[in-house]
Structure 1
Amino acid sequence: MATHWIWQQPDWPDFNWQAERLTPLLRECVQAQGQLMGMSGSVGDSLGAQTELDALLQNIVTSSAIEGEQLNVGSVRSSLARRLGLELIDGDKVSQRSEGLAQLMLDATRRFTEPLTLERLLEWHQWLFPDQEADLTARSMHVGALRGDEPMQVVSGRIDRPTVHFEAPPRQGLEQQLDQFLQWFEASQHQTALDPMLRAGIAHFWFVTLHPFDDGNGRLTRTITDLALAQGEAQAIRFYAMSASILDDRAGYYRILESSQKATLDITEWLTWFLQTLLRSLQQAITRIESVLGETRFWQAHRESELSAEQVKVLNRLLDGGERGFEHGISAGQYQAVAKVSKATATRHLAELLEKGCLQRLPGGGRSTRYQINYPDRAAR
């Protein structure tokens, strides 16, 4: 038999990699992980819980988006919040789908000390597809069971001349292959010579290559990755969402998987991509927590300041940054629009905020003058 796929290699799944190529990147990941875990200890309980909720939500939503599925974000947020013991003022109604996804994510991250067994995997698969009976397209799918006997292929293009991007190992022998993976996953957790981040990358590649289910393999692969990372950090609290970084390079994700699954058992290229993506997710989380801590310090410094409701509204928008905020400062005209006040009132409000040290004027003048938050400790930003 020709060895077109990696699982056809005679030594499958005896993976190897070039450690010297991965060491610098691995060192960066470990440093970022340590910085993030150190910073998370500075976040108060309520803010920490909200930050974790946001990260878990982002992970669930983006993992489904990688597969082209758009979730009801409000429903998933409500399901997560209920399980985390958080109250949402304007929470959406939960659904079977959102409940299953929240249960899946929290089971993987909160019960990271529990072994990953076939029974647990099958239960995860059921949570991933809780309402399949009402879905006509899912009635032929084996839910909570391994895939059927048909060849498992990922294809694109014309029906009469499809391009096969990937073919999974045949159904015969799948139980033994999956059992081998699960035994390795349990044993490798205690191998001090194997870095936990490399272990997560290997687990990701190995499981997605097995493709043991009719559907949901990608999402369960990323759930196993989250479990492996939680085990490596020995903590259930999650402040970063790797699936979001994978989604940012979705094309690259599928490209590196396809090329690696058609290559040798040297998975250095895959592990390089995995660590680079993990590093981005850690760095993005550090930036978010820096923002949260900066906002907390700002309001602590101005807790005695007498501010109008309009001023507080604009300050919160500036503190938000990102899509909802003003990353490059705010002009008098923008202040007027956000606060819904007159031009004269906007000018007066801005002068007051400058005087109280809430804002600082950016270089430039006239109509182009812009203002940004004056953090009490700019060095910490």
Structure 2
Amino acid sequence: MASDWIWQQPDWPTFHWQPEDLAPVLRECVQAQGRLMGMAGSVGGSLSAQSELDALLQNIVTSSAIEGEQLNVGSVRSSLARRLGLQQVDGDKVSQRSEGLAQLLLDATQHYAQPLTLERLLDWHEWLFPEQDHALGARPIRIGALRGEAPMQVVSGRLDRPTVHFEAPPRQGLERQLDVFLEWFETSRNEVGLDPLLRAGIAHFWFVTLHPFDDGNGRLTRTITDLALAQGEAQAIRFYAMSASILDDRSGYYRVLEASQKATMDITRWLEWFLQTLLRSLQQAMARIESVLGKARFWQAHPQHSLSEEQTKVLNRLLDGGVRGFEDGISAAQYQAVAKVSKATATRHLAELLEKGYLTRLPGGGRSTRYQINHPG
């Protein structure tokens, strides 16, 4: 066994970091978090519920994708929609896998005020692995129980010459290690001077280093992170999906974890990566909500009943950013292709939308004439 795993350090788990190095990105995260919460508060009821559903769905799907698992998106969406009291999409068969994943994330975020106990963790693990879904797995795992006596290693390469990227603490004493983590997780909620976002990053690193289960450690780690973030915000509604941003830099995620788990108790590098990734997820969520708000403002200002089905379709796709390559406006030929109408009809439709104020004409003329959305205000 390697002699330099972080959990073998004599001061484990007394983490420390360089506050001055983290201050700029931490400040950006706090400001973005505040702006996002302000924007989310201005979204109407149905739009807010849909935005929350989209964020939760993205979180579940991408957290599994980090581990190489592709989920049935429609099934997960239906499970979430039912639990959130939203209308389900007909035809989406709901699996036990989807039900468990939806129950797991909603328990963590909606019941953020409840303490994280070992019993709750074991319940989460059971929801993550419905027995029938794992029956065909490559190796049996203990479901709803801590891992066995065999060394827990993350390896790659040849079977006869594997590269060990990480080895978790031994099974003996794991209960005590978990007790220390869970006690810290509870008491640190009220720790003066510990920013909630740093607390979420510490919890993520600490739990994934313990690796207490045979399988599912990564997904449970990200669930604990969502719980910590919800506790810091003191609200159950989620509008951003950090797992999506982790997936975008999955190789960076594993690199910084491996480097930090072989280093000293100074986890500044890990926390910097964590905060930068969180910031991207907050910024992406703000862009999505701004798109939702912009679309709502547009249709409030412009009556939809006076439009043809084709005109409404093109406008919605432009508002959704769904027509790639049209960032600089849409031409008559492009309108014709999107709406699937004749050249004459496309020209007439565009003239009507221009006259009614739905679109504005950009500088240029002839075949190069382009049009863009006329946003109110």
Give 1:282's aligned residue: 282
Secondary structure of the residue aligned to 2:166 is: strand
Equivalent AA in structure 2 for residue 37 of structure 1: M
Distance in 2 between residues matched to 1:41 and 1:115, nearest whole Å: 27
Deviation at 1:364, TM superposition (A): 3.8
Secondary structure of the residue aligned to 2:26 is: helix
Equivalent AA in structure 2 for residue 36 of structure 1: L
Equivalent AA in structure 2 for residue 315 of structure 1: L
Give 2:110's aligned residue: 110
Deviation at 1:93, TM superposition (A): 1.2
Secondary structure of the residue aligned to 1:136 is: coil
Distance in 1 between residues matched to 2:324 and 2:237, nearest whole Å: 26
What per-residue deviation string (whole Å, max 9, x for no partner) do you get for residues 285-335 of structure 1?
111111111000000000276111110011011111157794443222221
Equivalent AA in structure 2 for residue 186 of structure 1: E
Task: Tell me which stretches of 4 or more aligned residues in structure 1 moved more than 6 Å.
Answer: none
Equivalent AA in structure 2 for residue 123 of structure 1: D
**Residues 1:170 and 1:91: Cα distance change in structure 2 (over 3 Å):** same
2:248 counterpart of 1:248: yes
Deviation at 1:25, TM superposition (A): 1.0
Give 1:68's aligned residue: 68
* Gap runs ≥5 in structure 2: none
Distance in 2 between residues matched to 1:125 and 1:344, nearest whole Å: 60
2:153 counterpart of 1:153: yes
Distance in 1 between residues matched to 2:314 and 2:133, nearest whole Å: 48
Distance in 2 between residues matched to 1:159 and 1:138, nearest whole Å: 16
Equivalent AA in structure 1 for residue 351 of structure 2: A
2:340 counterpart of 1:346: no
* Gap runs ≥5 in structure 1: none
Deviation at 1:107, TM superposition (A): 0.2
Equivalent AA in structure 2 for residue 150 of structure 1: A
Distance in 1 between residues matched to 2:319 and 2:325, nearest whole Å: 7
| 1:37-56 map, 5 Å | 37-56=37-56
Q: Is the CA contact 2:313–2:339 (under 8 Å) kept in the aligned structure 1?
A: yes
Q: Is the CA contact 1:318–1:325 (under 8 Å) kept in the aligned structure 2?
A: no
Distance in 2 between residues matched to 1:304 and 1:62, nearest whole Å: 35
Count of aligned pairs between the two proteins: 377
Q: Is the CA contact 2:157–2:163 (under 8 Å) kept in the aligned structure 1?
A: yes
Give 2:309's aligned residue: 309
| 1:147-296 map, 5 Å | 147-296=147-296
Deviation at 1:137, TM superposition (A): 1.7
2:79 counterpart of 1:86: no
**Residues 1:25 and 1:74: Cα distance change in structure 2 (over 3 Å):** same
Distance in 2 between residues matched to 1:240 and 1:325, nearest whole Å: 26
TM-score, length-normalised on structure 1? 0.96
Equivalent AA in structure 1 for residue 15 of structure 2: F
Equivalent AA in structure 2 for residue 296 of structure 1: A
Give 2:361's aligned residue: 361
Q: Is the CA contact 2:304–2:312 (under 8 Å) kept in the aligned structure 1?
A: no
Deviation at 1:362, TM superposition (A): 3.1
**Residues 1:218 and 1:325: Cα distance change in structure 2 (over 3 Å):** farther
**Residues 1:133 and 1:355: Cα distance change in structure 2 (over 3 Å):** closer
Deviation at 1:366, TM superposition (A): 3.3
Distance in 1 between residues matched to 2:237 and 2:282, nearest whole Å: 14
Q: Is the CA contact 1:132–1:139 (under 8 Å) kept in the aligned structure 2?
A: no
Equivalent AA in structure 2 for residue 144 of structure 1: G
Equivalent AA in structure 2 for residue 83 of structure 1: R
Give 1:28's aligned residue: 28
Equivalent AA in structure 2 for residue 61 of structure 1: V
Secondary structure of the residue aligned to 1:235 is: coil
Q: Is the CA contact 1:16–1:265 (under 8 Å) kept in the aligned structure 2?
A: yes
Equivalent AA in structure 1 for residue 131 of structure 2: D
Deviation at 1:192, TM superposition (A): 2.3
Seq. identity, %: 82
Secondary structure of the residue aligned to 1:189 is: helix
Deviation at 1:336, TM superposition (A): 1.1
Q: Is the CA contact 1:132–1:138 (under 8 Å) kept in the aligned structure 2?
A: no
What per-residue deviation string (whole Å, max 9, x for no partner) do you get for residues 222-245 of structure 1?
000000000000000000000000
Give 1:18's aligned residue: 18
Equivalent AA in structure 2 for residue 12 of structure 1: W
Distance in 2 between residues matched to 1:214 and 1:235, nearest whole Å: 32
Equivalent AA in structure 1 for residue 207 of structure 2: F
Distance in 2 between residues matched to 1:89 and 1:71, nearest whole Å: 17
Deviation at 1:140, TM superposition (A): 1.6
Distance in 2 between residues matched to 1:219 and 1:327, nearest whole Å: 37
Deviation at 1:91, TM superposition (A): 5.2
Secondary structure of the residue aligned to 1:137 is: coil
Distance in 2 between residues matched to 1:224 and 1:302, nearest whole Å: 44
2:144 counterpart of 1:144: yes
Equivalent AA in structure 2 for residue 269 of structure 1: R
Equivalent AA in structure 1 for residue 223 of structure 2: T
Secondary structure of the residue aligned to 2:259 is: helix
Distance in 2 between residues matched to 1:308 and 1:98, nearest whole Å: 39
Distance in 2 between residues matched to 1:160 and 1:208, nearest whole Å: 26
Distance in 2 between residues matched to 1:2 and 1:215, nearest whole Å: 22
